[in-house]
């Protein structure tokens, strides 16, 4: 059995030997390069773009201005500012040149005339709708109220009432590889090579924008995405348009500074929360007024829906209300970053739990135990059905770890060091659908190829899916290859996002393997002149127990593909391939706990001394891959808690335009961490897994923040926590 084993990643060899092929490694004959002139004013009326001087430069082929394409939830002048500039970084013009250097140099020869407009940067200011982020539009781009029970009355009737406001900064998802694509026009068909999380979704949004063309989208190797390479970007439309217009291949690669000015930021929420409880700590009501800072487009609004509908977390709180305002500001548009709405919710409900515990002078774990959901399935006040698990059991395990860490912390405190321990407990929603597909093929050499519709980009899902298929077919994992990321290889699919790939594509691959076995049995019955019922499949061999005749997969593949001539005399279709799709009728809800011990020194510097995460994600297919996900997520959560934050000045200039100002954790800040798991909360899929790709990014910030709070004695309501806040 390979499932459950720490199998090494099959993906790594090419990546670590430099034979990976990222978008920027793709060079096509006659290729032009595209560079984008971006606005350096946050809000202005655009009068005129002067391109004549740029066009005179040797090597410059074209300058594109004024391109508009109607894409849902984007401002009217998407993908290029035409009459109104909405944020610093917005594309205004694109230069097409024979080489990249000429393209970038030519940007200096373009100027634009504009009349500056007041910009609105602070989301609370924007919610007053006085200064407009987009002329003649309301700043309130989205509003929604969620109600479950009667939260207002329950709050009023509560013995204990607490109220707090939380600020969660905008962050940049920081993939190692910036966004980029190559568009290759050929006779009404355009091949796009992209650094994307979903070639199929990209194909569908490019088809809507350019309906006269057929698209093939190929996912190049991707150097990370973390949610930021899923939804449509201005530069993609501009590059494709440039390829169609010039009838040449065109390459666009973002620079890091352009990334910070254009890749959708994540998070950016403000929560004003009221919580009502009884004196003994039973929470009766939670009311959350949420402002989400959408930036200069509408499309990130759904993140507030995810946060709101999970605002009661893993706790049995009957009365809840969430009141969302999505506001436009003159900033880079907002969209998902690992966790997408769930880290924001967990930060809020876990902060409120700790604050209530402090208020009531109750042990924070006792308080959580009192409120935690005791039975699953459980329907939360907004109708989300938490599918399975034993929350109390996991919390008990986490408590043991917490107590151990507390003991160690106490020793260090006795030495005069400022050390604290924090625990978070979370539930999350994943396996965002609708479904995923997979094809399994017996190749002519007797090996098996699996093509999945999911589009992994660092997670190692290919290895885990090889484990599943090798087990199902009873063959050596070295005989299974898994490929993905090409719309011509598998027709309908979705991609990798929302911690879905293992569960949905993995189950699709499992079902396709079962179908393949059936197809093979039928074919072998025909070869052996037997009834299919007489034929059995076991450990990569097909045999007739009566006659004792057996064929290996390699022999079957050979028999089916190597004889030319003759006539059709098979009783079954000679299909050595099967495709299956798989979807769930509910999301999956993994849950877990993080426990952190930190030290804060006199300069306000935070160091993590110890860290343990415990999760229940149902069946764990490859504990090493899952652990890798948890470790990466913990580091990102750590970054979000104390280091990372997009900062604008109040005129709308981005003050964090590079990794010199926008700091992310490096190995120097890394720390010892341990991951443990239990397998009680199985999903309802045939292979009963849930996702783990985002859990740690959800559990980490509240645990780290609580530990900092305990170490420093300062109440923390804003992330990132700055050093100066802790002295
Ligand atoms: N896994 C497992 N057993 C399970 C669940 C998962 O062994 N029960 C393994 C899988 O085989 C896979 C990994 O854990 O190797 C994550 O699987 P899954 O939870 O299905 O998540 P996805 O593959 O759908 O990945 C998406 C998720 C998201 S939403 C973001 S954002 C994110 C993340 O993955 N972005 C990443 N992890 C990332 N890791 C890297 N290196 N780069 C990114 O951009």
Global model pTM greater than 0.85: yes
Q: What is the mean pLDDT of residues 125-130?
A: 98
Distance 695 CA to ligand 1 centre (A): 10
Residue located nearest, by CA, to atom 1 of ligand 1: 626
CA distance readout (Å), 518 to 65, 237, 443, 701: 57, 44, 16, 48
Confidence of residue 68 (pLDDT cuts 50, 70, 90): very high
Q: Whose CA is nearest to atom 32 of ligand 1?
A: 226
Rounded to the nearest angstrom, the distance between the alpha carbon of 52 and the centre of ligand 1 is 48
386 band by pLDDT with thresholds 50, 70 and 90: very high
Question: What confidence tens digit (pLDDT) does each residue in 637-648 have?
Answer: 999 999 999 999
Mean per-residue pLDDT for 469-491? 97
CA of 578 to the centre of ligand 1 (A): 25
Summarize pLDDT for 679-688 with one digit per residue, the tens.
999 999 999 9
Residue 119, pLDDT > 90, answer: yes
- 330/532: higher pLDDT: 330
Ligand 1 contact, 619 CB (< 6 A): yes
pLDDT in tens, 189-242: 999 999 999 999 999 999 999 999 999 999 999 999 999 999 999 999 999 999
Does 499 contact ligand 1 (Cβ within 6 A)?
Answer: yes
* pLDDT confidence of residue 77: 80
pLDDT in tens, 412-436: 999 999 999 999 999 999 999 899 9
The yes-or-no verdict on residue 345 having pLDDT over 90 is: yes
pLDDT (tens digit per residue) in 651-661: 999 999 999 99
* The pLDDT of residue 530: 86
Average pLDDT over residues 314-324: 98
What's residue 457's pLDDT?
97
Identify which of 691, 694, 698 to mutate to test ligand 1's pocket (most ligand atoms within 8 A of the CB): 691
Q: What is the DSSP letter of 667?
A: G
Instruction: Decide whether any atom of ligand 1 lies within 6 Å of the 694 Cβ.
Output: yes
**How many Å apart are CA 7 and CA 624, to the nearest integer?**
7
Whether residue 498 has its Cβ less than 6 Å from ligand 1: yes
Least confident among 64-68, 530-534, 709-713: 530-534
What pLDDT does residue 570 have? Answer: 77
465 lines ligand 1 (CB under 6 A): no
DSSP-derived secondary structure for 505-573: IHHHHHHHHHHHHHHHHHHHHHHTT--GGG-EEETTEEE-TTT--EEEHHHHHHHHHS--SS----SS-
Between the CA of 500 and the centroid of ligand 1 the distance, in Å, is: 8
Whether 691 lines ligand 1, by a CB cut-off of 6 Å, is yes
How far is 525 from 532, CA to CA, in rounded Å? 5
Q: pLDDT at position 483, please?
A: 97
**Percent of the chain clearing pLDDT 70 (strictly above):** 100
Residue 573: per-residue pLDDT: 83
The residue to mutate among 174, 693, 696, having the most atoms of ligand 1 within 8 angstroms of its beta carbon, is 693
Q: How far apart are CA 154 and CA 141, in angstroms?
A: 30
> Above 80 in pLDDT, residue 76?
no
Contact call for residues 301 and 326 (beta carbons, < 8 A): yes
Q: For residue 390, what are its two tokens?
A: 């034993």
608 pLDDT more than 90: yes
Closest-CA residue to 693 (of 533, 496, 437, 517): 496
Average per-residue pLDDT for the chain: 96
User: Do the beta carbons of residue 345 and residue 384 sit within 8 Å?
Assistant: no
- Residue 566 confidence class, pLDDT cut points 50, 70, 90: confident
3-state secondary structure 556-569: HHHHHHCCCCCCCC
Q: What sign does the CA torsion over 197, 199, 204, 207 have?
A: positive
Residue with CA at minimum distance from ligand 1 atom 9 = 626
Going by CA atoms, what residue is nearest to atom 16 of ligand 1? 693
Q: Is 460 in the pocket of ligand 1 (CB under 6 A)?
A: yes
User: Which segments within 172-301 are labelled E, that is strand?
Assistant: 180-186, 189-194, 214-219, 250-253, 266-277, 283-295
114 pLDDT higher than 90 = yes
Is any atom of ligand 1 closer than 6 Å to the C-beta of 501?
yes
**Confidence class for position 528, pLDDT limits 50, 70, 90:** confident
Q: Which of 74-88, 624-638, 695-709 has the lowest mean pLDDT?
A: 74-88
């Amino acid at each position: 059995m390979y499932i459950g084993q720490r199998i090494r990643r099959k993906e790594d060899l090419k990546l670590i030997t430099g034979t990976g092929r990222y978008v920027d490694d793709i060079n096509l004959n006659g290729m032009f390069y595209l560079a984008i002139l971006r606005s350096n004013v946050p809000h202005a009326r655009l009068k005129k773009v002067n391109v004549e001087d740029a066009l005179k430069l040797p090597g410059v082929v074209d300058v594109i201005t004024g391109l508009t394409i109607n894409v849902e939830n984007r401002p009217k002048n998407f993908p290029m500012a035409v009459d109104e500039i909405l944020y610093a970084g917005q594309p205004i013009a694109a230069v097409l040149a024979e080489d990249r250097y000429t393209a970038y140099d030519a940007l200096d020869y373009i100027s634009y005339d504009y009349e500056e407009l007041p910009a609105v940067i602070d989301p609370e200011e924007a919610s007053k709708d006085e200064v407009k982020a987009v002329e003649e539009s309301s700043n309130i781009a989205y509003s929604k109220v969620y109600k479950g029970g009667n939260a207002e009355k329950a709050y009023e009737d509560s013995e204990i009432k607490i109220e707090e406001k939380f600020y969660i900064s905008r962050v940049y998802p920081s993939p190692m590889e910036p966004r980029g694509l190559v568009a290759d026009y050929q006779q009404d068909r355009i091949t796009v090579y992209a650094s994307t999380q979903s070639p199929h979704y990209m194909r569908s949004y490019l088809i809507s924008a350019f309906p006269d063309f057929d698209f093939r989208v190929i996912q190049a190797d991707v150097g990370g995405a973390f949610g930021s390479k899923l939804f449509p970007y201005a530069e993609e439309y501009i590059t494709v348009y440039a390829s169609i217009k010039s009838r040449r291949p065109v390459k666009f690669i973002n620079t890091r500074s352009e990334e910070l000015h254009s890749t959708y930021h994540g998070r950016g929420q403000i929560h004003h929360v009221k919580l009502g409880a009884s004196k003994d700590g039973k929470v009766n009501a939670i009311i959350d007024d949420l402002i989400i800072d959408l930036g200069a487009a509408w499309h990130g609004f759904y993140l507030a829906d995810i946060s709101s509908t999970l605002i009661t977390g893993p706790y049995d709180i009957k009365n809840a209300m969430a009141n969302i305002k999505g506001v436009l500001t003159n900033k880079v548009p907002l969209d998902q970053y690992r966790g997408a709405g769930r880290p924001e919710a967990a930060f809020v409900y876990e902060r409120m739990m700790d604050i209530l515990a402090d208020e009531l002078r109750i042990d924070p774990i006792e308080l959580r135990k009192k409120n935690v959901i005791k039975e699953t399935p459980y329907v939360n006040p907004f109708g989300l059905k938490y599918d399975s698990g034993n929350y109390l059991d996991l919390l008990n395990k986490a408590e043991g770890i917490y107590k151990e860490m507390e003991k160690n912390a106490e020793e260090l405190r006795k030495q005069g060091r400022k050390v604290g321990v924090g625990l978070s407990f979370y539930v999350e929603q994943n396996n965002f659908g609708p479904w995923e597909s997979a094809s399994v093929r017996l190749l002519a050499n007797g090996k098996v190829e699996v093509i999945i519709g999911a589009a992994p980009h660092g997670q190692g899902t290919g290895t885990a899916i090889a484990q599943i298929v090798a087990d199902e077919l009873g063959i050596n994992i070295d005989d299974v290859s898994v490929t993905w990321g090409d719309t011509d290889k598998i027709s309908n699919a979705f991609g990798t996002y929302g911690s879905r790939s293992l569960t949905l594509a993995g189950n699709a691959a499992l079902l396709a393997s079962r179908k393949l076995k059936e197809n093979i049995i039928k074919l072998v019955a025909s070869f052996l002149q037997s009834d299919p019922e007489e034929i059995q499949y076991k450990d990569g061999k097909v045999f007739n127990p009566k006659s004792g005749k057996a064929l290996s997969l390699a022999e079957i593949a050979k028999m089916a593909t190597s004889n030319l001539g003759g006539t059709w005399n098979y009783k079954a279709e000679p299909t050595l391939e099967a495709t299956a799709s798989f979807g769930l009728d509910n999301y999956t809800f993994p849950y877990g706990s993080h426990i952190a011990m930190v030290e804060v020194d006199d300069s306000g510097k935070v160091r993590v001394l110890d860290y343990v995460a415990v999760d229940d994600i149902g069946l764990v297919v490859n504990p090493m891959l899952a652990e890798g996900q948890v470790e990466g997520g913990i580091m990102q959560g750590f970054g979000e808690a104390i280091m990372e934050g997009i900062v604008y000045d109040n005129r709308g200039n981005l003050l964090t335009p590079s990794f010199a100002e926008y700091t992310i954790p490096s190995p120097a800040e890394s720390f010892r961490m341990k991951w443990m798991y239990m397998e009680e909360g199985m999903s309802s899929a045939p292979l009963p897994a849930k996702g783990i790709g985002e859990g740690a990014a959800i559990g980490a910030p509240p645990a780290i923040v609580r530990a900092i709070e305990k170490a420093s004695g300062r109440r923390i309501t804003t992330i990132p926590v700055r050093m100066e806040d802790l002295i």
